[in-house]
Amino acid sequence: MKKALITGITGQDGRHLAELLHSKGYTVFGMVKGQNNPRAEQIRTDFPYIELISGDLADVLSLGTAIEFAQPDEVYNLGAVTYVAFSFSQAELTANTTGLGVLRMLEAIRMVGGQQNNPIRFYQASSSEMFGMVRETPQTELTPFHPRSPYGCAKVFGHNVTVNYRESYGLYACSGILFNHEGPWRGLEFVTRKISSAVARIGLGLQDSVALGNLDAKRDWGFAGDYVKAMWMMMQQDQADDFVVATGISHSVREFLDLAFAEVGIDDWSRHVVLDPSMLRPAEVDVLVGDASKAARELGWKPEVDFPQLVKMMVRHDLAVESAKLSK
Ligand code: NAP
Ligand code: F7E
């Protein structure tokens, strides 16, 4: 039976990945930060099979201790400061966690797994935000990076150091350059879930409007449940490598709004959306679209949930959440 250690277990992808690995018979360890993380209790309730370990990407000793304890075959580094807008206000924290945290984890793996023939496989959660002001469309594994936020800059460091440790020390270290992926477990700060939650409440008559920023931004949105499968596939290859994971189709925030409001029977949503300049970013990523043909060819990966299905899934989930609150 294989063992996996997941950082970022309390986040969206941590949950999906834990579910996937458990279904494959893995023993799953999840790293939780903080002395009394309120999200840990929810993980204990929802996923009783996960063994939680205390640790922080800012503390290399805690990472070494966690690896020593779990003795994992595979480490999935999903932990990070992930909200791009927030990364502008706490740039140093972001660089330390999202960037240097990757280096610390790689060093911890080297410390515990040994310098040669290290058996521990490492997955780094790289991001399409590294492409930022895109140099070509669609973006591939070879597209140059031009990050537009402290988050994007930190992810570029994490990506490069992963490649460097693979090349320098022969570690099985791979990096998934994942484009935006969403679902019912997405944090409420991200635009898709912010919209699905607000639309559900508007549909039920619980609120009138939602305040948003740049409605013209375009993203290549997929379903998180599909994307964690690609993470696992990357870790099962003969040789570690890097892969773009994307649907290949880009949609605007406006299009997301169209489909989300249609789900609650509202065709003209203009009076329900307020433009809030405070949601605009100092530098924006206007449009992203990925070319995942390498992942299709070499991993056999393809997305199963399309954009309309994703929006429907999220709004229906939030309608159920809000209706359940009402009936209490
Ligand atoms: P998420 O929901 O925001 O979860 C982030 C996780 O990181 C949380 O569990 C958080 O724990 C943990 N974390 C934050 N600071 C930490 C620290 N100092 N030490 C240890 N853990 C820490 O993010 P996600 O959407 O699941 O994304 C997973 C990973 O994929 C992230 O690295 C993200 O940058 C990357 N990524 C995501 C997407 C996407 O579209 N979702 C696309 C490309 C790449 P607490 O909050 O409980 O403290
Ligand atoms: O913004 C625009 C916003 O915050 C998407 C993270 O998982 O994916 C995510 O980063 C777009 C941006 O995601 C609001 O300006 C408009 O253009 O949902 P988001 P993101 O910035 O693309 C990448 C791949 C990651 O790696 C990140 O970790 O939507 N937008 N109005 C808004 N965005 C937010 N959050 N809130 C608004 O009100």
Each residue's pLDDT tens digit, 43-85 = 999 999 999 999 999 999 999 999 999 999 999 999 999 999 9
Q: What is the pLDDT of residue 170?
A: 94
SS3 301: coil
Residues 295 and 138: their CA atoms lie apart, in Å, by 14
Q: How does residue 215 score in pLDDT terms, banded at 50, 70 and 90?
A: very high
Quick one: 271 and 166 in the same domain?
no
* Residue among 190, 196, 281 to mutate when testing ligand 2 (max atoms within 8 A of CB): 190
- pLDDT at position 198 is 98
> How many structural domains are present in the chain?
2
Centre of ligand 1 to C-alpha 295, Å, is 22
Cα 147 from Cα 149, distance rounded (Å): 6
Confirm or reject: Cβ of 147 under 6 Å from ligand 1: no
Q: Residue 115 above 90 pLDDT? A: no
Distance (Å, whole) CA 115 – CA 95: 27
Residues 147, 207, single domain; the answer is no
**How far, in Å, from the CA of 78 to the mean position of ligand 1?**
5
Instruction: Determine, yes or no, domain membership for 47.
Output: yes
Report the chain's mean pLDDT, rounded to a whole number.
98
Q: How far apart are CA 294 and CA 8, in angstroms?
A: 26
pLDDT tier at 116 (50, 70, 90 boundaries)?
Answer: confident
Residues 147 and 254 in one domain: no
Q: CB of 214 closer than 6 A to ligand 2?
A: yes
User: Relative to the CA of 214, which ligand 2 atom is closest?
Assistant: 16
Nearest Cα residue to 295 out of 210, 178, 167, 201: 178
For residue 40, the ligand 1 atom closest to its alpha carbon is: 47
Ligand number nearest to the C-alpha of 288: 2
pLDDT at 85: 98
Residues forming the active site: 127, 129, 151
Q: Is 196 part of any domain?
A: yes
Residues 145, 207 within the same domain: no
Atom index in ligand 2 nearest the CA of residue 212 equals 38
- Count the neighbouring beta carbons within 10 Å of the beta carbon of residue 23: 8
- Residue 298 within any structural domain of the chain: no
Of the listed ligands, the closest to the CA of 231 is: 1
